[in-house]
């Protein structure tokens, strides 16, 4: 066996084959190449500015890094499992290109602060992409809400018909959810935006480095304040994954509603061939597979968050090799969450609400019973609990007669409460019920239109 070139004189032999298998991460961390090269450029320029590295060596190193980046982007770079990870693959290639000067690049840094920096840069870029994708989903929902501000549908609790609402109002409920999700990602971005570069292995360095310079060069707000925390922290990944997991739950809930709405029992919406599939045996089927797959992605994303939480839960300070298991979970979560966002945005744009079908369902199931109770309180002055009881008796009467509340006669209702007048019919239609819900945040079409405009302006400013 030959000496290990990476670990120098401490080890006399090469790692066993199984050790190489478990230790290597290049199969997945090679996607960090752009961040690794960006960090190396910033570090090299800082070393030159502080006099730790000569200008000639710095220029040679920067040219070599440029060439390596071009090779990777063009698919000409040969990644080696023997070199473990993206950092050593790039350093090895740099040495091939420029010789001994390559070894000076690693002065005053460690793979520990290097990988923390690369990973933060990657997650930050992913957050920026996700925020843009959330904006697109929000815009699609707002557009759908505005177009269907007065489309009446049943509102549900316990998946039982409760009160009539509008489809636009229902869409805006998800706007609120995804807007909160966006704020969580932005909060996570703000907290992660401190540079670990220069923390070295765990204790900092004796070289006169300028961490403020490298932080600025990489777009960070400031350098991290504690070298131990700098290399052992993965909160930024956990927080981003947690934001993705919460948002994936919202995507899953919306996906579940689309599955329900597009089913034969409801038929509230129609989806085109773009977001449905057929059956291999049943020619009549149109399956909402895109929605179902988004619903399933939530479990995968939540599982990824759990993976990293469990990896991190027992680690003493500072760095442990366990933390190499962070990237696959993060990459998988961010990839699948991004995919689910794009798919949902497409599905919302593709979805066609079936207004007549929704209106028919909204009028069934005594959905205006609460309006009747409110009328008894407002007009007759009944205490609400008494009005609730009277309404319950009238609902029972209608149910026994096989009619909706609006189909009962005045005389029938007066048998339960003699003071009821003809005016009661003004609140028993679903149109009047929806129009009356004008309290802030209510479902009245005028509210929906105003709130949709509010969100349009807010999205235009973001």
Catalytic residues: 158, 279
Phi, psi of 162 (to 5 degrees): -115, -80
The closest of 3, 76, 97 to 33, measured between CA atoms, is 76
The CA-based dihedral angle spanning residues 361, 363, 366, 369, taken in that order and rounded to the nearest 10 degrees: 130
Cα separation of 84 and 32, whole Å?
A: 13
**DSSP annotation of 4:** P
Query: Which three-class secondary structure state does DSSP give residue 317?
Result: coil
Contact (Cβ atoms closer than 8 angstroms) between residue 65 and residue 94: yes
Cα separation of 340 and 291, whole Å?
A: 9
Contact (Cβ atoms closer than 8 angstroms) between residue 443 and residue 169: yes
Query: Which three-class secondary structure state does DSSP give residue 163?
Result: strand
Query: How many C-beta atoms surround the C-beta of residue 395 within 10 A?
Result: 19
Strand-pairing partners, residue 353, are 269
Q: Provide the b/e sequence for 261-295 (b: ≥16 CB within 10 Å).
A: bbeeebebbebeeebbeeeeeeeeebebebbeebb
Q: Provide the b/e sequence for 149-171 (b: ≥16 CB within 10 Å).
A: bbbbbbbbeeeebebbbbbbbbb
- Maximum Cα–Cα distance across the chain: 101
Contact (Cβ atoms closer than 8 angstroms) between residue 128 and residue 134: no
Cα separation of 310 and 14, whole Å?
A: 31
Cα separation of 197 and 270, whole Å?
A: 52
Cα separation of 291 and 256, whole Å?
A: 7
Query: Which three-class secondary structure state does DSSP give residue 439?
Result: coil
């Amino acid at each position: 066996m030959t000496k290990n070139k990476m670990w120098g004189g401490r080890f006399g032999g090469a790692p066993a084959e199984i050790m190489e298998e478990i230790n290597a991460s290049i199969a997945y961390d090679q996607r960090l190449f752009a961040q690794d090269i960006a960090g190396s450029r910033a570090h090299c320029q800082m070393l030159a500015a502080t006099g730790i590295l000569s200008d000639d060596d710095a220029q040679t190193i920067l040219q070599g890094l440029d060439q390596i980046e071009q090779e990777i982007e063009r698919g000409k770079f040969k990644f080696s499992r023997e070199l473990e990870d993206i950092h050593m693959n790039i350093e090895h290639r740099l040495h091939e290109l420029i010789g001994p000067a390559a070894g000076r690049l690693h002065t005053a840094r460690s793979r520990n602060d290097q990988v923390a920096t690369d990973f933060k840069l990657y997650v930050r870029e992913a957050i920026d992409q996700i925020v843009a994708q959330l904006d697109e989903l929000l815009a699609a929902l707002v557009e759908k809400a505005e177009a269907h501000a007065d489309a009446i549908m049943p509102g549900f609790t316990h998946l039982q018909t409760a009160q009539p609402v509008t489809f636009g109002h229902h869409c805006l409920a998800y706007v609120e959810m995804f807007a909160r999700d966006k704020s969580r990602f932005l909060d996570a971005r703000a907290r992660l935006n401190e540079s670990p570069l220069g923390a070295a292995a765990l204790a900092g360095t004796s070289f006169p480095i300028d961490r403020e310079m490298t932080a600025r060069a990489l777009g960070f707000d400031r350098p991290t304040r504690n070298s131990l925390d700098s290399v052992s922290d993965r909160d930024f990944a956990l927080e981003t994954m947690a934001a993705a997991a919460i948002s994936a739950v919202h995507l899953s809930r919306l996906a579940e509603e689309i599955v329900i709405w597009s089913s034969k029992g409801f038929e509230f919406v129609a989806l085109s061939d773009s977001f449905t599939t057929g059956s291999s045996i049943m020619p009549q089927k149109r399956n909402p597979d895109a929605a179902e797959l988004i619903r399933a992605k939530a479990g995968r994303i939540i599982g990824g968050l759990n993976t990293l939480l469990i990896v991190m839960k027992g680690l003493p300070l500072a760095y442990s090799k366990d933390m190499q298991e962070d990237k696959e979970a993060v990459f998988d979560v961010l990839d699948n969450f991004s995919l689910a966002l794009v798919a949902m945005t497409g599905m919302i744009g593709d979805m066609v609400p079936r207004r007549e079908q929704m209106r028919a369902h909204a009028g069934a199931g005594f959905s205006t019973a609460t309006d009747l109770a409110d009328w008894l309180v407002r007009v007759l002055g009944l205490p609400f609990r008494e009005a609730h009881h009277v309404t319950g008796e009238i609902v029972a009467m209608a149910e026994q007669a096989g009619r909706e509340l609006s189909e009962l006669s005045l005389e029938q209702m007066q048998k339960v409460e003699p003071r009821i007048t003809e005016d009661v019919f003004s609140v028993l239609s679903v149109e009047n019920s929806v129009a009356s819900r004008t309290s802030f945040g209510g479902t009245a079409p005028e509210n929906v239109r105003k709130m949709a405009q509010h969100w349009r302006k807010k999205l235009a400013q973001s």
